[in-house]
C-alpha cells in the first residue's frame, strides 16, 4: 500500500516544488517596474533626463525646440501630462514664467518640481528679465540671466540635480543612474575641451547678439558680445537703438550677428543689409536646427557656426 501511495505523494511534492519555484521566478522585480513619468519644460532637460534615466524614464518635453520658452502657452495635453508625472524638471530663474500656473492647475499631490538652476553661478546682466516682468512673473535683477544651459559647466550642476531626483524616485536603479551620469559627464568634458581648442584660434571673437541668450556661452568660450539687438525694455528695439547699432557695427567693424531660429529674423537681416555683417542662425534648444537633436549636438553646432562665421569674416 505504501509503495502504491508513494509515487502519488512524490508527484504531488514535485508539482508543489515546481509551482513554488515558478512563483519565485515570476515575482515582479525592480527592473520590471514602469518607467518614471517625467515632464520637462524645455528639450535640453528632456535630453539630460533621458541620458541619465535610460530605459527607466519616460520623458515628455512641453516645448519641442522651435518655440520661444518665454512666451509659450501650455496646451490642455500639457496639463494632462503634468497630472500623470512623478517629476517636473524646470530651469527656473523666471525662464518658464507659465509653469507655476500649470502646476497649480494640474493639482497633483504626488508631483515633485525640480529646479535645475539651483547652485549655478549666475550672470547678472539683466538679460531676459524684461520677458518675465512683461508676462507677470515676480522676478528681480538678482535672478540673473536664465539661459544657464548654454555653458556646459552649468549643465554639470543641472545633471547632478536630475540624477539625484531620479535616484530618490527609483532607488533600485541608483547604480544605473550614477553610471549614466558619469559617462555623460565624460562626453561633455571631451566636447568642451574640443570646442575650447577650436575657439582659441580665433583672431576676432566679437559679435552682435539678437537676444540676451548667449552670455554664458560667450564667457565659457572666450567670445565677446559687443551689443544686443533686443534691449531689456520689454518692447521692440527703437529706431534710435537700431541706428546706434548700425553705427557701432560699422565703426568697430563687427562682422557677425548671432540670431536664433526661435525668433523672427527681420531685425538681424535689416542690420545685415545696412552693415554687410553676416547673420548666423543658432538655436537655444536641442532640435531647433537640423543635426541638433541632443544637447551635445546643439552645443557643437552653435560654437562651430559662430567660429565659422567669425573666421569667414
Which segments within the chain are labelled E, that is strand? 36-40, 57-61, 87-90, 112-115, 206-209, 224-228, 256-260, 278-282
Architecture of domain 201-312: 3-Layer(aba) Sandwich (3.40)
Give the mean pLDDT of 161-180.
Answer: 98
Above pLDDT 90, what percent of the chain?
77
Q: What are phi and psi of 57, to 5 degrees?
A: -135, 155
- Is the fold of 32-194 the same as that of 201-312? yes
pLDDT exceeds cutoff 60 at 302: yes
* For residue 137, pLDDT beyond 80: no
Domain residue spans in the chain? Answer: 32-194, 201-312
Assessment of whether the complete model's pTM goes beyond 0.75 = yes
pLDDT digits (tens, 9 = 90+) for 207-250: 999 999 999 999 999 999 999 998 764 568 999 999 999 999 99
Query: How many whole angstroms from its chain centre is CA 157?
Result: 12
pLDDT tens digit string along 85-134?
Answer: 999 999 999 999 999 999 999 999 999 999 999 999 999 864 433 343 33
pLDDT of residue 219: 97
CATH topology of domain 32-194: Rossmann fold (3.40.50)
Predicted pLDDT of residue 253: 97
Q: Is the pLDDT of residue 31 over 50?
A: no
Amino acid at each position: 500500500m505504501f509503495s502504491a501511495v508513494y509515487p502519488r505523494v512524490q508527484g504531488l511534492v514535485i508539482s508543489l516544488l515546481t509551482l513554488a519555484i515558478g512563483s519565485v521566478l515570476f515575482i515582479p522585480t525592480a527592473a520590471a517596474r514602469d518607467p518614471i513619468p517625467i515632464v520637462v519644460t524645455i528639450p535640453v532637460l528632456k535630453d539630460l533626463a533621458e541620458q541619465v534615466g535610460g530605459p527607466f524614464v519616460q520623458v515628455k518635453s512641453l516645448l519641442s525646440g522651435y518655440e520661444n520658452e518665454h512666451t509659450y502657452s501650455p496646451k490642455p495635453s500639457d496639463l494632462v501630462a503634468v497630472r500623470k508625472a512623478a517629476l517636473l524638471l524646470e530651469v527656473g530663474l523666471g525662464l518658464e514664467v507659465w509653469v507655476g500656473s500649470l502646476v497649480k492647475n494640474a493639482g497633483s499631490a504626488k508631483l515633485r518640481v525640480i529646479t535645475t538652476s539651483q547652485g549655478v553661478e549666475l550672470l547678472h546682466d539683466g538679460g531676459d528679465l524684461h520677458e518675465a516682468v512683461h508676462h507677470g512673473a515676480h522676478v528681480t535683477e538678482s535672478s540673473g540671466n536664465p539661459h544657464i544651459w548654454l555653458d556646459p559647466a552649468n549643465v554639470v550642476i543641472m545633471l547632478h540635480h536630475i540624477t539625484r531626483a531620479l535616484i530618490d524616485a527609483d532607488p533600485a536603479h541608483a547604480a544605473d543612474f550614477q553610471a549614466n551620469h558619469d559617462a555623460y559627464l565624460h562626453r561633455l568634458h571631451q566636447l568642451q575641451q574640443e570646442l575650447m581648442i577650436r575657439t582659441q584660434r580665433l583672431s576676432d571673437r566679437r559679435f552682435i547678439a539678437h537676444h540676451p541668450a548667449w552670455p554664458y556661452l560667450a564667457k565659457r568660450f572666450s567670445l565677446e558680445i559687443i551689443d544686443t539687438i533686443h534691449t531689456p525694455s520689454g518692447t521692440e528695439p527703437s529706431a534710435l537703438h537700431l541706428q546706434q547699432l548700425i553705427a557701432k557695427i560699422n565703426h568697430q567693424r563687427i562682422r557677425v550677428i548671432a540670431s536664433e531660429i526661435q525668433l523672427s529674423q527681420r531685425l538681424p537681416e535689416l542690420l545685415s543689409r545696412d552693415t554687410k555683417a553676416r547673420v548666423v542662425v543658432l538655436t537655444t534648444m536641442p532640435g531647433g536646427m537640423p543635426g541638433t537633436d541632443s544637447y551635445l549636438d546643439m552645443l557643437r553646432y552653435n560654437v562651430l557656426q559662430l567660429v565659422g562665421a567669425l573666421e569667414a569674416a
